[in-house]
């Protein structure tokens, strides 16, 4: 990976300062970790109520997060469109697009809520959830799923803010939601003597739902208060809506493949026993937390690359790729080091079950090893999203999933079924994604003089 970055470096004048990158990336990091932090807090509190509840929240919240990933691809697409028009100084051309895209996301969220709520039992049975775990999944999800339209609408608004080269507003909103969730989690799960009865699993779901609604309302306030856009609907479809739909479609298919990966992993882990799926739940949520954390610089790359394309500044784009990649690699390596130091203690934060802790400790080293690899993949993912190379991202993930994760995971499942095999497959998956996208970026954008 270091060799890749050395090859990427050039003598192009520094058109994008570290300060400009950090101004977007640091708030984006704090914003990005809010949603997985909500799930981690749920898991940490619920883990104290029993292994069955821990497994159920892990499965249901994992499905919720993956679904939001799939459905919220308009965030990235709208950020690319807004940032490009920002660079061209033509924001007025997309004024009518904003309320149209917001309405589309709300309707999509409502439809998905109705569909998944009706078929929730069948969905979680696909994850091998049975008996008490299945019942707990349904109880948690029936409440949390109400948040789909609010989450999708808020994510779209975050994308608009990012396109305007501002990630601070989304950070403020997301951290407010996370703080509300932490407070309500404790109150609603465990109760307040004499005032509120303990609600357990349902309390965690209500806390998350409340946080999502508050985040949406705050995002609307920021849109109306701090941006040139409004919510007046125009009967004429904006010309950019078609491109928004096309990019979102590519990213939708790409994220379906992401969900296939996580689904297959969780299905296999569930089949290996409650303790194994509980351990996998902890490992996966830490992996997702790290991914959202690292993704902050990808968000900065997403916003700046779109603006540079609007300005027709490809030299600056290449230098941006090197800078974002270098910083992301440093952060990924730093996270890996922190996890290594805390290795003996992390599982105990989430559970006291010795079997779960033992299973977790057999695979967490793979989570650590993947951090710098993930960092490079996510960095260049963000840049390609800003440029609008969504078809390339779709095809790359298809190759990594079908040629990397699936054959490795299935082979282990047949010949040596274990949680270790699942995480070896994750590592193979990320190696393909990281190596291929860095090579492709250098091939396309390296100036001839370098």
Phi, psi of 196 (to 5 degrees): -130, 125
Ramachandran sector of residue 227 (left: φ over 0; alpha: ψ -120 to 50; beta: rest): beta
pLDDT at position 449 = 58
Evaluate whether residue 399 is within a structural domain. Answer: yes
On the CB side of 201, CA atoms within 13 Å amount to 24
Output the pLDDT for position 184: 95
pTM: 0.80
The three-class DSSP label of residue 50 is coil
Residue 269 near residue 54, CB atoms below 8 Å: no
What the block records as the tokens of 32 is 């990005």
* Residue 301 to residue 28: CA distance in whole angstroms: 11
Which CB contacts under 8 angstroms, 24+ apart, belong to 282-285?
A: 282/43, 282/58, 282/346, 282/347, 282/350, 282/351, 282/356, 282/360, 283/360, 283/363, 283/364, 283/367, 283/423, 284/58, 284/62, 285/36, 285/39, 285/40, 285/43, 285/58, 285/61, 285/62
State the pLDDT at residue 225: 95
Domain extent for 158: 2-445
Give the Cα separation of 368 and 337 in Å (integer). 8
Structure tokens at 95: 């004024």
CB 391 within 8 A of CB 250: yes
Over residues 76-97, mean pLDDT? 93
Is a pLDDT exceeding 60 seen at residue 36? yes
C-alpha–C-alpha distance, residues 54 and 34, integer Å: 20
User: For 33, phi and psi rounded to 5 degrees?
Assistant: -85, -5
- Please give the C-alpha separations between residue 126 and each of 63, 134, 257, 422, in angstroms, as whole numbers: 11, 10, 16, 17
Q: Are the C-beta atoms of 167 and 27 separated by less than 8 Å?
A: yes
Residue 260 lies in a domain: yes
Rounded mean pLDDT of 66-73? Answer: 79
Q: Which residues pair with 192 in a beta bridge?
A: 196
Q: Look at 93 and 257; give whichever has higher pLDDT.
A: 93
Q: Which two tokens stand for residue 292?
A: 């959202």
In a domain, 450, yes or no: no
Residue with the larger pLDDT of the pair 10 and 143: 143
Contact 175, 201 (CB under 8 A): no
Name the phi and psi angles at 230, rounded to 5: -135, -175
Do 127 and 263 form a contact (C-beta atoms < 8 A)?
yes
**pLDDT at position 35, please?**
66
Q: Are 162 and 301 contacting, i.e. CB atoms less than 8 angstroms apart? A: no
- Find the largest Cα–Cα distance for the chain: 74
Q: Which residue has the tokens 């033992």?
A: 358
> Among 61-70, 173-182, 223-232, 404-413, which stretch is predicted with the lowest mean pLDDT?
61-70
pLDDT at 10: 38
Q: What b-and-e string marks burial along 36-47, b requiring 16 or more CB atoms within 10 Å of the CB? A: bbbbbbbbbbbb
98 — pLDDT class (breaks 50, 70, 90): very high
- Number of compact structural domains in the chain: 1
Q: Give the mean model confidence (pLDDT) for residues 139-143.
A: 96
> 9 by DSSP, 3-state: which?
coil
Provide the pLDDT confidence category of residue 13 given band limits of 50, 70 and 90. Answer: very low
End-to-end CA distance of the chain: 19
The mean pLDDT value for 141-162 works out to 96
Nearest to 18 by CA among 322, 302, 292: 322
Angle at CA of residue 346, ends 345 and 347, nearest 5°: 100
Residue 356: per-residue pLDDT: 92
DSSP 398-426: HHHIIIIIHHHHHHHHHHS-SHHHHHHHH
pLDDT tens digits, one per residue of 48-63: 888 888 888 888 988 8
Q: Which residue has the higher pLDDT, 3 or 281?
A: 281
Residues 333-347 have pLDDT tens digits of 999 999 999 999 999
- The Cα-based distances of 369 to 364, 374, 430 in angstroms read 9, 9, 11
Residue tagged 């996208």 (tokens): 437
Mean confidence (pLDDT) of the chain? 89
At residue 15, the pLDDT reads: 57
Q: How many CB atoms lie within 10 A of CB 141?
A: 24
> How many Å apart are CA 361 and CA 159, to the nearest integer?
37
């Amino acid at each position: 990976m270091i060799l890749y970055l050395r090859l990427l470096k050039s003598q192009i004048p520094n058109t994008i300062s570290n300060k400009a990158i950090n101004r977007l990336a640091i708030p984006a990091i704090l914003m990005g970790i809010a949603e997985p932090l909500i799930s981690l807090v749920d898991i940490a509190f619920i883990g104290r109520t029993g292994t069955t509840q821990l497994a159920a929240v892990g499965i249901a919240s994992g499905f919720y997060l993956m679904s939001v990933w799939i459905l919220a691809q308009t965030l990235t697409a709208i950020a690319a469109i807004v940032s490009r028009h920002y660079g061209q100084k033509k924001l007025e051309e997309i004024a009518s697009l904003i309320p149209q895209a917001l309405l589309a996301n709300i309707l999509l969220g409502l439809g998905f809520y109705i569909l998944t709520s009706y078929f929730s039992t069948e969905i979680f049975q696909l994850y091998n959830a049975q008996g008490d775990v299945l019942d707990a999944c349904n109880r948690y999800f029936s409440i949390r799923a109400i948040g789909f339209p609010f989450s999708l609408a808020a994510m779209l608004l975050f994308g608009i803010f990012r396109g305007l080269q501002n990630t601070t507003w989304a950070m403020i909103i997301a951290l407010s939601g996370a703080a509300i969730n932490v407070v309500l989690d404790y109150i609603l799960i465990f109760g307040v003597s004499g005032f509120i009865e303990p609600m357990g699993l349902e309390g965690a779901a209500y806390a998350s739902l409340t946080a999502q609604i508050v985040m949406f309302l705050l995002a609307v306030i920021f849109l109306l208060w701090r941006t040139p856009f409004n919510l007046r609907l125009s009967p004429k479809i904006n010309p950019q809506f078609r491109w928004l739909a096309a990019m979102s479609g590519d990213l939708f298919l790409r994220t379906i493949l992401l969900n296939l990966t996580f689904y297959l992993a969780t299905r296999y882990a569930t089949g290996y026993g409650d303790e194994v799926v509980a351990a996998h739940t902890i490992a996966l949520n830490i992996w997702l937390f790290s991914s959202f954390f690292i993704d902050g610089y990808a968000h900065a790359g997403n916003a700046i690359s779109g603006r540079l394309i609007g300005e027709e500044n490809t030299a600056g784009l290449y230098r941006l790729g090197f800078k974002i990649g270098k910083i992301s690699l440093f952060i990924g390596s730093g996270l890996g080091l922190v996890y290594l130091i805390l290795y003996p203690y992390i599982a105990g934060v989430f559970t006291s079950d010795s079997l779960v802790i033992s299973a977790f400790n057999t695979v967490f080293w793979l989570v650590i090893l993947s951090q710098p690899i993930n960092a490079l993949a996510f960095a260049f993912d963000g840049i390609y999203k800003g440029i609008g190379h969504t078809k390339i991202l779709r095809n790359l993930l298809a190759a990594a999933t079908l040629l990397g994760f699936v054959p490795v995971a299935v082979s282990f499942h047949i010949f040596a079924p274990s949680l270790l095999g699942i995480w070896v497959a994750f590592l193979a998956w990320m190696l393909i994604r990281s190596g291929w996208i860095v090579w492709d970026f250098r091939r396309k954008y390296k100036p001839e003089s370098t």
